[in-house]
Amino acid sequence: MDRLDWVKGAVIYQVFPDRFARSKAVKTDGLFEKWDTPETPDGFKGGNLKGAEEKLDYLRDLGATAVYFNPIFASAANHRYHTFDYYSVDPLLGGNAALDSFLKAAHKRGIKVILDGVFNHASRGFFQFNHLLENGAASPYRRWFHPRGWPLKAYNLASGEKPNYACWWNLPALPKFNTKNPEVRAFILGVAKYWLEKGIDGWRLDVPHEINDDAFWREFRRVCKAVNPGCYITGEIWGEAKRWLAGDQFDAVMNYQLSAACISYFGGKKLKLTHPYDGRRLEPGDQKKFMADIKTLLGHYKYATTLVQMNMMSSHDTDRLLNTYGGDEDLVKLAAVFSFVFPGAVNVYYGEEIGMEGALNAGTRNAMPWGRRRSWNTGLLKLYKQLAALRRGNPVIKNGKFEFLAEYCCGDILAFRRFLPGASLACLINNSPERKELRLKKSALGRSPRALINSGVTLKPAGDFLLAVLPPRAYAVFG
């Protein structure tokens, strides 16, 4: 039995807790920003887990089979990557009881739950680090971190001054753990075990490459799999990740390599990005480059690993799709179609299905506009639902091989298929603003091909062949 069978073909919906949904049933102290105002670096909108729970039927209707939460543990940051207490769900989110309730409600609907594990660094409010701030070199926790002098300079640094302790990107609010310390290792492993025992289904690991210690991650895997052999461990690695995907550390990584290839090809001359991908500035690429990029990506890992990769087109760390693709909805649809038919799980960042817009640090993390449904892109929403329905329980999507139909990949027409013995899905995409025609062998799309998803592609008999007519930016999936 494959313990990770639930990941293959999964549709993972990514929730940024402060911005997804706010339940009026939760009474919390404090004042929040107005829900529909633009994101701010420090402001809180008041989203909570009860609000997310109340939207589970929406997620099920969308076709989501798992939810990935950005950090939910106690923190003084709206993104909660500054963790105060790894054993406490943030009170603003509803506390531990709210997670228990969400888990029960999600599992009742067949939806798995993945939490964000921020184990490279903590926060200034984390107890052991706060102990160092108060007691300096006399603190028994001094080996939990990397002090470089006393007293620690954690606040009010002069312009250009760096903290005198190791921290993430020299940000004083994010002191880096000393994972060489057995006490720290035991603490992190205890956290991972605790929440799996509470019923979560996996961990997404934040910047795990910065814990440059294969033995640590092997131990992390052993601890997690001992609790739940079917738990999912995926890491935030933007580049090639063979080191972590040999079978002894992570199950998968966030597949930014896939999104980068799609952005370059489908985005083309309309490509707009405010940030690099894995340190690279992406440039428009032609079909030949795209196919080569995909073949290289497929060659990195065993196919069993490819089938559980966490594929995404966007996330909380990127511009939103409409911004990336120059505001062209048709290009967004092409990228979505390719990613949903491609091997692996699909990660949908909240709001992409309704056409939310925003650049990194300028709208990417805006609140979900539940009260402004007239602003929703219903055409995109319909497509996401169709693509998710195509994936659900589909053996070809879950386990099928992938190949380009190279003889039909010409100009701006992309043809590929997923297949198993006796079953297949074939996809045609016209990445051109012009109408195209393509002559196909009658067997090219399988026996008696039927369009499962179609934006206007037609097939006509042409002697011993089929003539495919593809309108501008058209796509179709045949089964």
- For residue 16, the number of C-alpha atoms closer than 13 Å in the C-beta half-sphere is 24
Q: Tokens for 11?
A: 């549709």
- Which amino acid, 417? R
Active site positions, annotated: 206, 236
- Which amino acid, 89? V
- Closest of 98, 8, 39, 107 to residue 67, by C-alpha: 107
Confidence (pLDDT) at 21: 98
Q: Where in the chain is the domain with CATH 2.60.40.1180?
A: 401-478
Q: Are 133 and 92 in contact (CB under 8 A)?
A: no
* Ramachandran quadrant class, 91 (left: phi over 0; alpha: psi -120 to 50; beta: rest): alpha
Confidence (pLDDT) at 27: 79
Q: Where in the chain is the domain with CATH 3.20.20.80?
A: 11-120+177-398
How many other CB atoms are found less than 10 A from the CB of residue 200?
Answer: 21
* Ramachandran quadrant class, 355 (left: phi over 0; alpha: psi -120 to 50; beta: rest): left
How does pLDDT run along the chain (479 residues), one tens digit per residue?
A: 789 999 999 999 999 999 999 998 887 777 899 999 999 999 999 999 999 999 999 999 999 999 999 999 999 999 999 999 999 999 999 999 999 999 999 999 999 999 999 999 999 999 999 999 999 999 999 999 999 999 999 999 999 899 999 999 999 999 999 999 999 999 999 999 999 999 999 999 999 999 999 999 999 999 999 999 999 999 999 999 999 999 999 999 999 999 999 999 999 999 999 999 988 899 999 999 999 999 999 999 999 999 999 999 999 999 999 999 999 999 999 999 999 999 999 999 999 999 999 999 999 999 999 999 999 999 999 999 999 999 999 999 999 999 999 999 998 999 999 999 999 999 999 999 999 999 999 899 988 899 999 999 999 998 889 999 999 999 999 99
CA 354/CA 376 separation, integer angstroms = 5
- Closest of 239, 229, 181, 186 to residue 208, by C-alpha: 239
Q: Is 284 helix (H, G, I), strand (E, B) or coil?
A: coil
CATH number of 11-120+177-398: 3.20.20.80
Confidence (pLDDT) at 225: 98
Does domain 401-478 fall under CATH 2.60.40.1180? My reply is: yes
Q: Is 428 helix (H, G, I), strand (E, B) or coil?
A: strand
Confidence (pLDDT) at 6: 98
Beta carbons within 8 Å of 80's beta carbon, 6+ residues apart: 17, 18, 70, 71, 72, 73, 90
Give burial (CB, 10 Å; 0-12/13-18/19+) of 79: middle
Structural Rg of the chain based on CA atoms: 23
- Which amino acid, 289? K
